[in-house]
C-alpha cells in the first residue's frame, strides 16, 4: 500500500490553510501577551505547531484501517486515563483536566476526541444493516457518553460538549429515522431541566449571563461585554497589532486563549475577521471534500467527524466572542494558545490526509 | 469513484461498499449548507458590532481605559504679619479604593491592615453609592509609614486590586492647638453642605475650610484643581504618559495681621486655663493675637479624625471647639464701667465735681445693692470710682442715665451687635434696652434692672473681641475700627462717635490709675516705663452667696476680665484677657501685661513700628520673643 502513496497526493491546500491560520494565531498570541507574564507563549505555540506537524505526518502514515482495528484499545486507554486525571491530574482554574509534569501538560480530553471520531466510524461501519436501529443508537450513545460524563465531572462542560457533534454527525450520516431523531430531541428536552440542576454555579452563571450579560457585568457577563467592546471597537480595519486597548490593557479576559479571536477582531477589524473566517471555511470545505472522495464509509465518517467537531469549535468559540453563544471555555482550533488543542487538531488533519492518500489504493 | 473501480478491478468488494462515500452525498451537502449558514451567522455578528456600531463600542473601550485623575491644588499657606508661616502644607499619601475592582470580602482585611474601623469603612463606601463607579473612595489620608508599607505590599492585582495610592498636599497646622480657633481647619465637604446653595461650586471629595480663616478665605486659599487623563489597565494602574495634563493652580497664600510673637505670648500666658485673649491695634482694627483655650489639634481634622475623637471633642464639658474670643458671650462686669463713665460725662449726668458717697452699698427702688467693698469707698468722684471700681458710684450714674442712654453709648462702642470681624460664626452678645426688652419679652423695662446693668451684670453680655474693640475705640478717641485679620479685608468701615475728647481723657486717666496709682485694682498689669491703662472685671455667673455650699463647682464661678491698652496717649495696642471659672479680674491682668510688654519689646528691638515690619521682614525668619508669664499673685483677691 505504502508504495502507492505519493507526496503529490498530500492535501497541500489543507495544510497551507491550516498553517496560515496558525500563523495568524501566533501573531495574535504575541500581540496579546508581549507585556504579560505569558510573553513567551507565542514561540511555545510555534513549537507546538511543529510538534503537531510531525504528529500529523505520523498519523498520515499509519493506515487508518489499522487505527480503526485498535479502537477498543484506544477507548479503554482513554477511559482509564480520564479516570487517572482525577487522581494525578493537576488542578488548573478549579478543574482537573491536565496530566503531565513540569512544563508539559496535556489535556487528555482533547485526545479523546480522536478516539471518539474513530470509534463512531468503526461502530457505524460495523453494522450489518442498512441503518442503525434503536439499540445500536443506545449502544453508541453509551460508548460516547461514558468519556463525556468523565470530562463533565472534571468539570469541563465545554470540552465534553464537543463530543456531541462527533456522535451527531455520525448518526445523521448513517441514516437516522425521523422517529429516532424526534425521540432524541424529546429526551434532550426532558433532560435539560435536570441537567440545569447538575450544573455548577459558575456554569449556571455563564448561561444566565449569556442571556443577559448586563445582569452580572463583573462576573461571566463581564467577559462577554468586554469581548463585544473589543470586537466592536475594532471597526472595519482594526486598531493595529499591539494597539487594541481592550487586549493590551487586559480588559479582555484570557486574550491569548479562549478569547483570542476577540483580540484578533479588535486589532484587525472586520476585514481581518472575514479573512480568517474565510480560511476556516476553506479548511472545513477541504475536509468535507476529502469526505466526499473517501475510499470507504469509514473514511467518510472519520472526515465528517473531524469536520463536524471543528465546525462546532468555530461556532461556539467565535459565537461566544460576539456574544451569540454562552461562555464555555473551549479553544479556537489552531489559533488559541495551548498545546493539547494544536496537537489534537493536527492529528485530526493527519487522519483526513490519511484517508485522502488511500482513496485510490484500497 | 468510477475511476478507482477501474483502476482496482482485482478488488473483490461488494458494490454496496464501493459506493460508500456516495450514499451520504445528500447529507454531506446538507452539512455544507449548514456550514455556510453558521459562517453567515458569525459574520452577521461581526457586521453588527464592527461595521454598524464601531463608534459605540470604541467609546465604551475608551471609557474602560481612560481615567480622569484629579490633580489636587495645594492650599495657600497662612502667614503672620511678618510673613512667617503659621499653616503649612506637607506631602502625604492617601489610599483609595477603586470601587470597580472592589471585592467586598477584602474589606475586613484592608480595614485591619490600615487600622480602620470596619463599620466606619463600610459606611464611608456606601456614602458613594450614588456616584459613578469610577469615582474612587479615599479611605485613609495621612498614611503612616506602616500604612504605606501595607498598601505597597498588598495592592498587587491578585491580592487587593482595589487599593491605590495618591499623593496630596495636606494641611500642617501648628502643634498643640496653637492659634487653632482663629486659623480653623479644613475637611471634606459634607453631603449636608453640598445640598446648601452656598456650596454649589464644590464637588464631593473637595477639601474646604470648615472654620476660622480657613473657611472665611477658602476661595482664595483653595486654588483650582487640575486634571490628568491617563490610560489605565484593567487593574486601574496607569500606563504610559498621561494623555492630557491640566496643571493645578495653587491657592494664594493668606497674609494675616496676626503676630506670631504676640500670639505665642498670649497662648503661653493663658496656659491651660479656659478663656480667651484678644490683642488688636485700635488705630487700624488689625488683630495681633487671638487665643481661645482649651484648644484642639486641627491636624486631627485633616484625615485621622475618628468618630471617637470627634465625640470626645463635642462632649468635652469645656467645649474646646468653641472659639471663646468671638463666641463666648459673658457679662463684662466692671470692664463695663469705663463706658458708663463716658456715657455719664457725655450726657452731663456727672462732671468733675460730681461725688457719690459709698458706704458699702446703696438702696434703689426698695432694694439694697451692695458694693464689692463692704466698708465702702467713702466719698469719691469718677476718677477714683474707675480706679477702685466702686459699684455704688456707677449704680448712681446708671440710675441717673436710664437704660436707653446707657445702651446708646454701649452700642456705639460695639455692644449688642457683631463687630464684623472677618471670621465666620461671630456671636453678637446682648445689650439690653427698653426696645430690646419689648422686642424679646414683650415687657416693659423696670428701672431697677438698670442698676445691675450699670456694673456690667444683668442681661448685658459681650465677647472678648467686642470688649477689646469697644475699649480700643474709646482709647483711640471715639473711632471704632472694625477688627480684622487680613489687611485689606472687606469689613464695615470705622464707626465714629461724636465723643468729647476731654471726657475720653478723663476715662483714660481713670484707667491709668487702675494700673499705676496706689489703690488701683489692676496693679498686676503694671510695666515699668510704660503707661499701661486698664480695667479689671469679675463678672458673676451667680451670686457668691448662692454658690456657697452648693456643688455646682466651677461652672458657676466668676469670669475674670482684664482689658488693657498702651500707651496712655495714642494707644497702639489693646488687649483683653478673659479667664473663666476664676476668682477675680486681677487674675487676667498679668496675661494682658505680658502681651503688651512683648509688643513694646519687639518694637524697641526693630526700632520701627510693628505695622511697617511686614515689608521689612518679608522672607526673613524672626525669632519669636516668648515671655514666660509671671506667677499669678493672688494677694489682691477680693478687689474688684
pLDDT, tens digit (0-9, with 9 covering 90-100), for B535-583 = 999 887 644 444 444 444 444 468 899 999 989 988 999 999 999 887 6
The β-bridge partners of B171 are B89
Please give the residue of chain B at the shortest CA–CA distance from A262: B46
Q: How confident is the model at residue A250 (pLDDT cuts 50, 70, 90)?
A: confident
Question: What percent of chain A is modeled with pLDDT above 90?
Answer: 52
Question: Would you say residue A354 has pLDDT above 60?
Answer: yes
Cα distance between residue B454 and residue A146, in whole Å: 108
Cα distance between residue B276 and residue B323, in whole Å: 8
Q: Is the dihedral of CA B195, B199, B205, B211 positive or negative?
A: negative
Note whether A200 contacts B: Cβ–Cβ < 8 A: no
The β-bridge partners of B95 are B140, B165
pLDDT, tens digit (0-9, with 9 covering 90-100), for B79-90 = 998 888 999 888
The pLDDT of residue B134 is 63
Task: Quote the number of domains for chain A.
Answer: 1
Note whether A236 contacts B: Cβ–Cβ < 8 A: yes
**CATH code given to domain B67-255:** 3.90.1310.10
Question: Would you say residue B404 has pLDDT above 90?
Answer: yes
Q: What single-letter DSSP state applies at residue B303?
A: T
Contact criterion met (CB < 8 Å) for B20 and A294: yes
Closest C-alpha among A11, A20, A91, A125 to residue A355: A11
Closest C-alpha among A59, A27, A47, A134 to residue A349: A59
Omega before A155 within 30 of 0, i.e. cis: yes
CB pairs under 8 A between A and B: 155
Contact criterion met (CB < 8 Å) for A235 and B56: no
The pLDDT of residue B304 is 57
Whether residue A132 lies inside any domain: the answer is yes
B226-232/B238-246 β-pairing: antiparallel
The boundaries of the domain holding residue A126 are 2-357
Question: What percent of chain A is modeled with pLDDT above 70?
Answer: 89
Residue B499: C-alpha distances to residues A8, A252, B252, B339, B402 (Å): 125, 84, 41, 12, 19
**Partners of residue A299 in chain B, C-beta under 8 Å:** 21
- Taking residues B350-374, what's their average pLDDT? 90
Question: Would you say residue B226 has pLDDT above 80?
Answer: no
Cβ-count burial B258-275 (b if 16+ within 10 Å, e if not): bbbbbbbbbbbbbeebbb
Whether residue A88 lies inside any domain: the answer is yes
The pLDDT of residue B639 is 38
pLDDT, tens digit (0-9, with 9 covering 90-100), for A225-245 = 889 999 999 999 999 888 888
CB B595 within 8 A of CB B281: no
Contact criterion met (CB < 8 Å) for B41 and A324: yes
Whether residue A217 lies inside any domain: the answer is yes
Cα distance between residue B487 and residue B447, in whole Å: 44
Minimum-distance CB partner of A232 among B13, B43, B57: B57
CB B102 within 8 A of CB B121: no
What's the grid cell of residue B291?
A: 487665643
B residues 61-120 near A, CB within 8 Å? 61-62, 64-65
Among A152-166, B202-216, B440-454, name the most confident range.
B440-454
Note whether A319 contacts B: Cβ–Cβ < 8 A: yes
Task: Answer yes or no: pTM beyond 0.80.
Answer: no
**Partners of residue B102 in chain A, C-beta under 8 Å:** none
The pLDDT of residue B163 is 80
Domain coordinates in residue numbering, chain B = 2-52, 67-255, 260-296+327-636
Note whether A263 contacts B: Cβ–Cβ < 8 A: no
Cβ-count burial A156-185 (b if 16+ within 10 Å, e if not): bbbbbbbbbbbbbbbbbbbebeeebeeeee
**H-only helix segments in A89-200:** 108-125, 134-152, 157-173, 178-198
Q: How confident is the model at residue B156 (pLDDT cuts 50, 70, 90)?
A: low
The pLDDT of residue B432 is 93
Indicate which of B2, B3, B45, B157 best probes the interface with A, i.e. most A CBs within 10 Å of its own CB: B45
The pLDDT of residue A328 is 81
B320 backbone φψ class: left, alpha, beta (φ>0; ψ -120 to 50): alpha
Provide the 10 A C-beta neighbour count for residue B449: 16
Residue with cell 474670643: B325
Same CATH topology for B67-255 and B260-296+327-636: the answer is no
Q: Complex ipTM, two decimals?
A: 0.92
Q: How confident is the model at residue B123 (pLDDT cuts 50, 70, 90)?
A: confident
Fold topology of B260-296+327-636: Beta-lactamase (3.40.710)
Among A32-46, A80-94, B155-169, name the most confident range.
A32-46
Cα distance between residue B562 and residue B591, in whole Å: 9
Contact criterion met (CB < 8 Å) for A274 and B43: yes
Q: How confident is the model at residue A249 (pLDDT cuts 50, 70, 90)?
A: confident
The pLDDT of residue A91 is 64
Whether residue A362 lies inside any domain: the answer is no
A residues 330-359 near B, CB within 8 Å? 359
Question: Would you say residue B493 has pLDDT above 90?
Answer: no
The β-bridge partners of B379 are B357
The pLDDT of residue B400 is 93
**Partners of residue A300 in chain B, C-beta under 8 Å:** 20-21, 24, 28
What's the grid cell of residue B609?
A: 513700628
Question: Would you say residue B18 has pLDDT above 60?
Answer: no
Amino acid at each position: 500500500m505504502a508504495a502507492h502513496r505519493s507526496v503529490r497526493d498530500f492535501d497541500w491546500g489543507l495544510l497551507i490553510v491550516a498553517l496560515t491560520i496558525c500563523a495568524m494565531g501566533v501573531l495574535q498570541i504575541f500581540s496579546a501577551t508581549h507585556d504579560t507574564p505569558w510573553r513567551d507563549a507565542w514561540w511555545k505555540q510555534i513549537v507546538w505547531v511543529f510538534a503537531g506537524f510531525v504528529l500529523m505526518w505520523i498519523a498520515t502514515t499509519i493506515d487508518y484501517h489499522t487505527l480503526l482495528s485498535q479502537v477498543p484499545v484506544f477507548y479503554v486507554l482513554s477511559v482509564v486515563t480520564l479516570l487517572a486525571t482525577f487522581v494525578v491530574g493537576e488542578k488548573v482554574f478549579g478543574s482537573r483536566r491536565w496530566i503531565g509534569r513540569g512544563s508539559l501538560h496535556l489535556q487528555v480530553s482533547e485526545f479523546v476526541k480522536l478516539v471518539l471520531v474513530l470509534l463512531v466510524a468503526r461502530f457505524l461501519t460495523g453494522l450489518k444493516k442498512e441503518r442503525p436501529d434503536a439499540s445500536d443508537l443506545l449502544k453508541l450513545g453509551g460508548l460516547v457518553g461514558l468519556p463525556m460524563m468523565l470530562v463533565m465531572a472534571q468539570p469541563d462542560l465545554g470540552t465534553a460538549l464537543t463530543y456531541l457533534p462527533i456522535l451527531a454527525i455520525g448518526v445523521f450520516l448513517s441514516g437516522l429515522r425521523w422517529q429516532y431523531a424526534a425521540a432524541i430531541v424529546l429526551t434532550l428536552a426532558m433532560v435539560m431541566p435536570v441537567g440545569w440542576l447538575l450544573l455548577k454555579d459558575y456554569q449556571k452563571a455563564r448561561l444566565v449571563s449569556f442571556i443577559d450579560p448586563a445582569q452580572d457585568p463583573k462576573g461571566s457577563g463581564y467577559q462577554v461585554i468586554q469581548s463585544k467592546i473589543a470586537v466592536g471597537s475594532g471597526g472595519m480595519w482594526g486598531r493595529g497589532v499591539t494597539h487594541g486597548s481592550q487586549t493590551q490593557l487586559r480588559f479582555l479576559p484570557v486574550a491569548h486563549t479562549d478569547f483570542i479571536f476577540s483580540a484578533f477582531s479588535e486589532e484587525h477589524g472586520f476585514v481581518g475577521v472575514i479573512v480568517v473566517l474565510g480560511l476556516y471555511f476553506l479548511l472545513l470545505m477541504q475536509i468535507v471534500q476529502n469526505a466526499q472522495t473517501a475510499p470507504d464509509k469509514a473514511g467518510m465518517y472519520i472526515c465528517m467527524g473531524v469536520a463536524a467537531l471543528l465546525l462546532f469549535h468555530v461556532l461556539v468559540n467565535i459565537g461566544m466572542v460576539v456574544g451569540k453563544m454562552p461562555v464555555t471555555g473551549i479553544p479556537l482550533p489552531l489559533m488559541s494558545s495551548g498545546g493539547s488543542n494544536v496537537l489534537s487538531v493536527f492529528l485530526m488533519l493527519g487522519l483526513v490526509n490519511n484517508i485522502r492518500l488511500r482513496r485510490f489504493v484500497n | 469513484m468510477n475511476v478507482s473501480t477501474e483502476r482496482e478491478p482485482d478488488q473483490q468488494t461488494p458494490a454496496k461498499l464501493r459506493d460508500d462515500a456516495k450514499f451520504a452525498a445528500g447529507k454531506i451537502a446538507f452539512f455544507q449548507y449548514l456550514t455556510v449558514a453558521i459562517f453567515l451567522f458569525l459574520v452577521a455578528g461581526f457586521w453588527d458590532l464592527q461595521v454598524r456600531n464601531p463608534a459605540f463600542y470604541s467609546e465604551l473601550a475608551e471609557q474602560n481605559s481612560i481615567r480622569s485623575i484629579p490633580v489636587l491644588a495645594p492650599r495657600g499657606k497662612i502667614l503672620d504679619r511678618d510673613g512667617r508661616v503659621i499653616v503649612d502644607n506637607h506631602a502625604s499619601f492617601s489610599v483609595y479604593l477603586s470601587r470597580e475592582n472592589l471585592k467586598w470580602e477584602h474589606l475586613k482585611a484592608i480595614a485591619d491592615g490600615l487600622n480602620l474601623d470596619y463599620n466606619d469603612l463600610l459606611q464611608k463606601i456606601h456614602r458613594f453609592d450614588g456616584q459613578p463607579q469610577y469615582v474612587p473612595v479615599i479611605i485613609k489620608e495621612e498614611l503612616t509609614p506602616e500604612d504605606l508599607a501595607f498598601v505597597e505590599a498588598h495592592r498587587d492585582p491578585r491580592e487587593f486590586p482595589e487599593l491605590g495610592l495618591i499623593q496630596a498636599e495636606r494641611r500642617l497646622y501648628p502643634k498643640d492647638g496653637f492659634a487653632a480657633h482663629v486659623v480653623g481647619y479644613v475637611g471634606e465637604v459634607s453631603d449636608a453642605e453640598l445640598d446648601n446653595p452656598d456650596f454649589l461650586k464644590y464637588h464631593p471629595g473637595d477639601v474646604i475650610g470648615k472654620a476660622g480663616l480657613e473657611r472665611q478665605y477658602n476661595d482664595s486659599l483653595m486654588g483650582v484643581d487640575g486634571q490628568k487623563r491617563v490610560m489605565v489597565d484593567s487593574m486601574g494602574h496607569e500606563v504610559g504618559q498621561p494623555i492630557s495634563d491640566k496643571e493645578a493652580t495653587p491657592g494664594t497664600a493668606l497674609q494675616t495681621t496676626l503676630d506670631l510673637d504676640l500670639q505665642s505670648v498670649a497662648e503661653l500666658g493663658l496656659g491651660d486655663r479656659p478663656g480667651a485673649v484678644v490683642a488688636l491695634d485700635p488705630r487700624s482694627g488689625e488683630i495681633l493675637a487671638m487665643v481661645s483655650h482649651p484648644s484642639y489639634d486641627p491636624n486631627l481634622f485633616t484625615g485621622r479624625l475618628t468618630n471617637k475623637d470627634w465625640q470626645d471633642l463635642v462632649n468635652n464639658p469645656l467645649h474646646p471647639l468653641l472659639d471663646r474670643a468671638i463666641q463666648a458671650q459673658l457679662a463684662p462686669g466692671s470692664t463695663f464701667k469705663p463706658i458708663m463713665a463716658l456715657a455719664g460725662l457725655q450726657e452731663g449726668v456727672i462732671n468733675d465735681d460730681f461725688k457719690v458717697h459709698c458706704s458699702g452699698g446703696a438702696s434703689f427702688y426698695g432694694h439694697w445693692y451692695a458694693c464689692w467693698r463692704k466698708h465702702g469707698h467713702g466719698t469719691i468722684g469718677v476718677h477714683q470710682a474707675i480706679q477702685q471700681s466702686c459699684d455704688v458710684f456707677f449704680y448712681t450714674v446708671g440710675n441717673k442715665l436710664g437704660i436707653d442712654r446707657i445702651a446708646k453709648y454701649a452700642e456705639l462702642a460695639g455692644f449688642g451687635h457683631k463687630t464684623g470681624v472677618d471670621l465666620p460664626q461671630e456671636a453678637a452678645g446682648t445689650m439690653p434696652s427698653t426696645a430690646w426688652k419689648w422686642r424679646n419679652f414683650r415687657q416693659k423695662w423696670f428701672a431697677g434692672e438698670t442698676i445691675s446693668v450699670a456694673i456690667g451684670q444683668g442681661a448685658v453680655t459681650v465677647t472678648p473681641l467686642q470688649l477689646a474693640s469697644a475699649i480700643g475705640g474709646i482709647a483711640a478717641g471715639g473711632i471704632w475700627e472694625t477688627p480684622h485679620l487680613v489687611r485689606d479685608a472687606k469689613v464695615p468701615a470705622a464707626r465714629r462717635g461724636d465723643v468729647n475728647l476731654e471726657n475720653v481723657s478723663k476715662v483714660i486717666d481713670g484707667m491709668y490709675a487702675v494700673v499705676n496709682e496706689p489703690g488701683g485694682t489692676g496693679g498686676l498689669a503694671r510695666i515699668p516705663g510704660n503707661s499701661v491703662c486698664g480695667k479689671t472685671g469679675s463678672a458673676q455667673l451667680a451670686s457668691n452667696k448662692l454658690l456657697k455650699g452648693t456643688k455646682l463647682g466651677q461652672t458657676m464661678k466668676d469670669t475674670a476680665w482684664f482689658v488693657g491698652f498702651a500707651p496712655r496717649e495714642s494707644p497702639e495696642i489693646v488687649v483683653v484677657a478673659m479667664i473663666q471659672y476664676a476668682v477675680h479680674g486681677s487674675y487676667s491682668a498679668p496675661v494682658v501685661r505680658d502681651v503688651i510688654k512683648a509688643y513694646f519689646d519687639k518694637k524697641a528691638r526693630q526700632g520701627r513700628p510693628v505695622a511697617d515690619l511686614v515689608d521689612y521682614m518679608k522672607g526673613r525668619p524672626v525669632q519669636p520673643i516668648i515671655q514666660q508669664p509671671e506667677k499669678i499673685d493672688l494677694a489682691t483677691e477680693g478687689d474688684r
